[in-house]
Structure 1
Amino acid sequence: MGLPDPIRTIEAVWRIESAKVIATVARMTGDIGLAEESAQDAFLLAVETWPHEGVPENPGGWLTTTAKRKAIDQLRRQGVYEEKLRELAQQPPARPEPELLTLIFTACHPDVAVEGRLALTLRLLGGLTTAEIARAFLVPEPTVGQRIYRAKAALRKVPIELPPAEELPARLASVLEVIYLIFNEGYSATSGDSWTRNDLCFEALRLSRVLAALMPTSSEASGLQALLEIQSSRLNARIGPGGEPVLLADQDRTRWDRLLIRRGLEALTRAESTGVLGPYGLQAAIAAVHARAGVFADTDWARMAALYQLLAHVAPSPIVELNRAVAVGMAEGPEAGLKIVDGLPLEGNPHLSAVRGDLLERSGRVEEARAAFLKAAELTRNVQEKALYEQRARA
């Protein structure tokens, strides 16, 4: 049986408005934990009253006002309300900062461990419950609760404000990384029974859109949005009817979401117009090469290899080199790709063995390819990916 309509409405409003409510109360109180608690109290009051009294004309405003009152009541009970008022009075007038942008930068503060940043960002900005985050990352719920608790504890001494101009680039890198990591875990799940987790992908995509809108002059914010839009366009085509992975060469491109591709290409144009492309913009440009190819055979592999060469210069890493090996192997032949793969320090990475297996297979070295695919199957923790590699070994 479905939820009653008023409850559905309240949950929808919460998903849309909760981050703004928390951000506003956090700026007022200087305490993210108290802000979240007050916002949740407001949500519970809405659940109790809206079904009988009706949804307010401005539901987001109602939640914000109620949460502020709840926070003030809590401060009064703690006996620190007057002290908080004096602190606010002594502060200089606040800069006109978007509350949501401030909350993003605070949640992704470098003082917080990466796992805590991921969990806290999904909790505060994605509106996900602790249980939902635990299911998404396949970890016990108490583990996620501890990560969120430690993240909030680390932030108690951190001012809830945008970082000064000189710190902004480094802090932006942390924000972009968190959104990117959330998306990657959804796009190619590291473990579990499903190859993708679309809910995580779309939460990360939504956050990237928010960030790009709040920072329209940031090339990398637009670049990340472009990348996630284009990658998300393929989600439906990446999974077969039994949940099995469908590789890029075998995907039905008529199932790619053309609206997301168009949005991604528009964001890529913005990224190019606001500055030199950084790592996320270059990855978006690479994704655009695939998006512009009507069929796999039309892919401009030479351009892709050149873009990967640029990416390797801007953000060198073994994973970038592994992806470059795929493009070079397609543009110049499998032996050229193998020369790159065989020198990479990625022992224990299933994708290294899978790429190596593919290049060996195309080189006609069948027994070596079979061994590489079996090794990839042994190394991966994802059930669907394991089945794919085993199938390729048998083939």
Structure 2
Amino acid sequence: MATLKEADLIKIRRHLHQIPELALHETKTHAYLKQIISGFDQTHLTMKEIDSLPTALLVRIEGSQPTRTIGYRADIDALPVTEATGLEYASKHANTMHACGHDMHMTVALGVLSYFTTHQPKDNLIFFFQPAEESENGGKLAYEAGVFEGQWRPDEFYGLHDTPDLPAGAIGCRMGTLFAGTTEVNVDLIGKSGHAAYPQNANDMVVVAAQFINQIQTIISRSIDPIQSGVITFGKLQAGTIRNVIAGNARIEGTIRGLTQTMIETIDERIRDVAAGIARSYNCEVNVELNQGGYLPVENNPKLTANFIHYMQSNEHVNFIETKPAMTGEDFGYLLSKIPGTMFWLGVDDNAQLHSADFTPKEAALEPGIQAITDFLNYRMQQN
């Protein structure tokens, strides 16, 4: 098969859109990717599967005169969202949708891959079709499984995320952090239940939960540099069973967002400090669970990112837009903490936001996105 044309890309993207699958269950997606890639010229191409991560797929293209190995990552999972776009190629899987545009991510990666199967690259290229970005931190799972070893280890890694906030086909990037890191926060407060008429004989965890939440909010306003910013949101609070019984237990669930790993660790420490103080003040038990997994901040490598931005700005065929950091999370941050690289945006121009049931990215972004990436990779391979 020659390089994929626009009609091929749209057909592939629409098929992928109809078969969305949740993290670590991307079996149909995996099979379809293999089917498409098996139709490419196999002269310099090797595919690799991972026993411990069976829906992942790696593809290596051998370079003609390699001095480095360049990695490119595309995530493949979907979200538990019921699609409301009304498209004729809408999701065929109940309560599951590519509401974050990973169908676009995969299609762009296939377009770039198809080009380099018919135009052998100078350097080695590795394409990582990664499961479980939305949950289960598939990038971390792959790295810890030893996937990126020997000839499969990139010297540098690139990846994109689509955004409805930029024009279709535009490339967005910035120096420093592109996406925030995220941490799940679970807090269990344990006191003593009792009759509403006799509070002196109980230990009310509704009151304690309220005090805990109020004190936590001061972490951002008084412990974090306001120039750097961070977010703590508690989205769930459960306590009690009936109006006239004092709650002896409460559970709070939330999330932390921070632009650097150092900031996230500072917030973590302050949450533990507040929990210890609340426990002592109210003579109760406060158990804090913090789970970051692989969702580290996406901190772009300074040298590689400066080079990427310089190329995109100087290419007259690319609509490059410098962007601000976003508080959304992305597990590519874990891979960038191990292997230097750059994440960037691909504009898909939509009124609906990521993760919404009516998200409809513009397919006109596919060809210019693929062209910009292939041109950049060819440029990068000519550098020392």
TM-score normalised by length of structure 1: 0.26
In terms of fraction of residues, the more strand-rich structure is 2
Q: Which has the higher contact order (CA 8 A, sep 6+)?
A: 2
Higher helix share: 1
Q: How high is the TM-score relative to the length of structure 2?
A: 0.27
